[in-house]
């Protein structure tokens, strides 16, 4: 497929309520929407949501928009791209910038699946249409508020609850949660908020029977995670650290984790996400699919990835109304049953932006076509 044109939208999608983690407090999710036009007019859409500032990873939404506009889109416009690997090879001269690369990669896969007339999840090797979704709760004002929300999540049928964890919202919070819900599956997400100096605190967490501790240490660390995993019983799950298949291989070789949470945005797109899944499957490392609070369009590749065979723990797939009064994408994403979501049978990943909401929430746009592509400075 020859890539004829690329449109970019840097958007800010208002949240129902602020989202608090160890990284930041957000009132809107900033994201970049990519529209890719292939020969014959086939159209693919991708979303990549690194957040408003470089606080989850070194990338940030407006920076991603600039890198896509000035560096990555010009590398692929006018090029024949027959596979995700072809696309990644064209993007290789640009170092890092995984979220930016993911926007193009996901849009290409959507266009490719539409050209093939097949649902994306089937095209990447999915083995089940119905997947498990977990609940994810941020930092609250009080423990009582958190306990009420956990009770509601359990009542709604979720099989596991993930708790954001940061200094001041830590051991006492987990202790209260475990006392109130002795049999529920919980894990915590530290969003790289701690260091190896906190080893004693992590040892204390072993007594609470958590399913895993997600990204306890630095966002780019492997060695200290390997040291920590050797000292505690609770499995470590890496998130921020795993930015590519090579990083996943290094984590596996170093025994830095027992789980890897896969996010297509964080690893440069679906092509690399599937490669990370294969590495983990061969090594006996479990996977589940994480999320960045994207729109339903941004969650579409997550839903496809959650159908892969080595996904063995409920994924972060959220109904649109969990975070947004109105979703940017159409249709809105709904769960198919208690803690369950269903991959669509529509060709492609199955979602489009709503044109009116896209126009209303766009902060910056760019349109590039194959003959007119230039490499302007950001
Ligand atoms: Mg995480």
Per residue in 63-122, pLDDT (tens digit) is 999 999 999 999 999 999 999 999 999 999 999 999 999 999 999 999 999 999 999 999
Q: Are residues 160 and 287 in the same domain?
A: yes
Identify the CATH number of the domain in which residue 292 sits.
Answer: 3.20.20.120
Instruction: Report the pLDDT value the prediction gives residue 60, as an integer from 0 to 100.
Output: 96
Q: 24 C-alpha vs ligand 1 centroid, how far in Å?
A: 13
Q: 191 C-alpha vs ligand 1 centroid, how far in Å?
A: 6
* 263 among known catalytic residues: yes
Identify the CATH number of the domain in which residue 94 sits.
Answer: 3.30.390.10
Q: Are residues 105 and 159 in the same domain?
A: no
Q: How many CA atoms lie within 13 A of 170 on its CB side?
A: 14
Q: 130 C-alpha vs ligand 1 centroid, how far in Å?
A: 23
Paired tokens of 304: 């496809």
Of 101, 162, 164, 204, the active-site residue reads 164
Quote the CA–CA distance of 73 and 94 in Å, as a whole number: 11
Percent of the chain with pLDDT over 70: 97
* Residue range 32-53, pLDDT digits in tens: 999 999 999 999 999 999 999 9
Q: 174 C-alpha vs ligand 1 centroid, how far in Å?
A: 17
Q: How many domains does the chain have?
A: 2
- This prediction has a pTM of 0.94
Report yes or no: 123 and 349 within 8 Å, Cβ to Cβ.
no
Taking CB atoms within 8 Å and a gap of at least 24, the contacts of 84-92 are: 84/108, 84/109, 84/269, 84/270, 84/271, 84/274, 85/271, 87/269, 87/271, 88/268, 88/269, 88/271, 88/272, 91/268
Q: 89 C-alpha vs ligand 1 centroid, how far in Å?
A: 28
Mean pLDDT to the nearest integer, 256-262: 98
pLDDT, the chain, mean:
95
Q: Are residues 239 and 327 in the same domain?
A: yes
Instruction: Report the pLDDT value the prediction gives residue 22, as an integer from 0 to 100.
Output: 67
Q: Are residues 104 and 217 in the same domain?
A: no
What is the domain range of residue 238?
A: 122-352
Alpha helices (runs of H) in 181-305, residue ranges in sequence order: 199-205, 223-231, 245-254, 270-283, 296-305
Q: Are residues 30 and 165 in the same domain?
A: no
Q: Are residues 244 and 97 in the same domain?
A: no
Q: Are residues 138 and 104 in the same domain?
A: no
Would you put residue 99 in left (φ > 0), alpha (ψ -120 to 50) or beta?
Answer: alpha
* Structure-derived torsion over alpha carbons of residues 354, 302, 208, 243, reported in degrees to the nearest 10: -110
Mean pLDDT to the nearest integer, 227-234: 98
Where residue 195 falls among pLDDT bands split at 50, 70, 90?
A: very high
Q: 334 C-alpha vs ligand 1 centroid, how far in Å?
A: 22
Q: Are residues 89 and 159 in the same domain?
A: no
Q: 55 C-alpha vs ligand 1 centroid, how far in Å?
A: 12
Q: Are residues 303 and 171 in the same domain?
A: yes
Q: 360 C-alpha vs ligand 1 centroid, how far in Å?
A: 29
Instruction: Report the pLDDT value the prediction gives residue 17, as an integer from 0 to 100.
Output: 84
Which residue has tokens 């797109």?
269
Report yes or no: 90 and 61 within 8 Å, Cβ to Cβ.
no
Which residue has tokens 């027992």?
258
Where residue 20 falls among pLDDT bands split at 50, 70, 90?
A: confident
Report whether pLDDT(24) > 60.
yes
* 159 among known catalytic residues: no
Report yes or no: 171 and 201 within 8 Å, Cβ to Cβ.
yes
Q: Are residues 314 and 359 in the same domain?
A: no
Would you mind telling me the total number of residues written for the chain in this entry?
378
Instruction: Report the pLDDT value the prediction gives residue 375, as an integer from 0 to 100.
Output: 47
Of 101, 114, 162, 263, the active-site residue reads 263
Q: Are residues 292 and 311 in the same domain?
A: yes
Instruction: Report the pLDDT value the prediction gives residue 373, as an integer from 0 to 100.
Output: 45
Q: Are residues 146 and 217 in the same domain?
A: yes
Residue 217, C-beta contacts closer than 8 angstroms, at least 6 positions apart:
190, 192, 194, 195, 196, 224, 225, 228
């Amino acid at each position: 497929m020859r890539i004829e044109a690329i449109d970019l939208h840097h958007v800010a999608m208002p949240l129902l309520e602020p989202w608090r983690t160890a990284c930041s407090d957000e009132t809107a999710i900033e994201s970049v929407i990519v529209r890719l036009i292939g020969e014959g007019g086939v159209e693919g859409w991708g979303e990549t949501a690194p957040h408003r500032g470089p606080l989850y990873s070194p990338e940030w939404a407006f920076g991603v928009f600039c890198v896509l506009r000035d560096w990555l889109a010009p590398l692929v416009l006018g090029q024949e791209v027959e596979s995700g690997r072809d696309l990644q090879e064209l993007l290789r001269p640009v170092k890092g910038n995984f979220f930016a690369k993911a926007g193009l990669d996901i849009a290409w896969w959507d266009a490719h699946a539409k050209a093939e007339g097949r649902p994306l999840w089937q095209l990447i090797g999915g083995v089940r249409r119905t997947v498990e979704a977990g609940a994810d709760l941020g930092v609250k004002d009080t423990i009582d508020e958190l306990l009420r929300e956990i009770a509601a999540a359990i009542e709604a049928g979720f099989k596991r609850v993930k708790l954001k964890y940061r200094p001041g919202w830590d051991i006492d919070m987990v202790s209260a949660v475990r006392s109130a819900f002795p049999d529920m599956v919980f894990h915590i997400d530290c969003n790289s908020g701690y260091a190896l100096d906190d080893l004693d605190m992590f040892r204390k967490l072993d007594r609470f029977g958590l399913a895993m501790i997600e990204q306890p240490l630095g966002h780019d660390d492997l060695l200290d995670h390997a040291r920590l995993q050797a000292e505690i019983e609770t499995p470590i799950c890496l998130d921020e650290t795993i930015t590519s298949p090579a990083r996943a291989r290094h984590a596996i070789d170093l025994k830095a984790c027992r789980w890897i949470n896969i996010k297509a945005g964080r690893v440069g797109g679906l092509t690399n996400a599937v490669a990370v899944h294969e590495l983990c499957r061969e090594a006996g490392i479990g996977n589940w699919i994480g999320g960045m609070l994207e729109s339903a369009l941004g969650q579409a590749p997550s839903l496809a990835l959650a159908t892969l065979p080595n996904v063995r723990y409920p994924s972060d797939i959220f109904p649109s109304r969990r975070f947004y009064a109105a979703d940017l994408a159409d249709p809105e994403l709904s769960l198919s049953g208690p803690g369950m979501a269903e991959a669509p049978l529509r060709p492609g990943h199955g979602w489009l932006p709503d044109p009116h909401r896209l126009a209303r929430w766009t902060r910056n746009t760019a349109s590039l076509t194959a003959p007119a592509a230039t490499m302007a400075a950001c």
